[in-house]
Amino acid sequence: MTDSLVNLFKAIANSPNEETLEQEVIPQIGAYFVAKRCRLFLISQLPPKVSNLGKQALSREHNPVLNYLWEYHAPVHENILLPASKWQAICPRFDHGHVMAGPIVANGSLIGGLGVTRDRFTTAFTQQNITDMSGLCLHISTFLVQQQLSAVEFSAAEIKLLTPREIAIAKLVAQGLTNAEIGKKLWIQENSVKQALKRMFRKLNISSRTSLVSLLLQ
C-alpha cells in the first residue's frame, strides 16, 4: 500500500462533511488515478430529469459497467467486461475511453458509485487500480454512513433520562465507535466511557449497545 493511498484514506475519514469530501478529496482521488474525470454519484442525489445521453449512462441494459456494479457491488473497469471496440460503440465519448467504477454501499444496498475516466488513447485501468478503488470505496461508504448517523437526533422519551455527556456517548455508539475511540473523541478515559455505558444501561433497563441505539432511535 502506498503512502499516497493511505493519505487518501485519512483525508476521507477526516473530512468534516460530505461537501468537503466532494470538493477537496474526490479531486485528489482523480489525480491519484491520473483520471480525466472523477465523480462521486449518490442515487438519492441524481436529478429527476436527465438528458438522453445521461439516461443511457444510467441504464443497466445499456451500460455494462453500471450493471456489474449493481449486481456484484464490486469495482470494475470496461476492459474486464468487453473488448475496446465494443466499449467505444457503447460509449463513444473520447474522455470516457477507459472507465472504472466502484460501489458505495450502506445497509446491504448500493447507494451510489465512484467513477473515474481516462481518454481513449491513454493507459487503461489495471488490476491494481481495481484493488485501490475497492479500498477507497470502503472508506467512502463508511464515511457516508457515519455522516448519516452523526446527524441522527434521538427522539425517544428515554432520552430525558440521560445527561448531555451520556447522549454524546450514545451518538458515538450509534456511529459504531469503540469505547477507546469514544474516549478520544470526548477527551475522557476509556474506563470513563465504560462506566458511563453501565449507568446508561441501568437507567434504560437494557444490556447491550445495540439495544441502546435501537431504544433511542424509536
| Contact of 197 with 177, CB cutoff 8 Å | no
- Average of per-residue pLDDT across 87-98: 89
Residues 6+ apart with CB under 8 A from 58: 46, 50, 66
Domains in the chain with CATH codes:
3-150 (3.30.450.40), 157-216 (1.10.10.10)
Enumerate residues 6+ apart whose C-beta is below 8 A from 8.
25, 28, 29, 32, 136, 139
- pLDDT value, residue 102: 98
Q: Which of 49-53, 168-172, 195-199 has the highest mean pLDDT?
A: 195-199
Q: What is the pLDDT of residues 31-71, one digit of tens each?
A: 999 999 999 999 888 777 767 766 767 778 889 999 999 99
Distance CA 159, CA 60 (A): 45
pLDDT tens for 97-142 read: 999 999 999 878 999 999 999 999 999 999 999 999 999 999 999 9
Q: What amino acid occupies position 98?
A: H
In sequence order, what are the residues at sequence separation of 6 or more whose Cβ sits closer than 8 angstroms to the Cβ of residue 180? 190, 193
The overall average pLDDT reported for the chain is: 89
Backbone angles phi and psi of 211, in degrees to 5: -65, -35
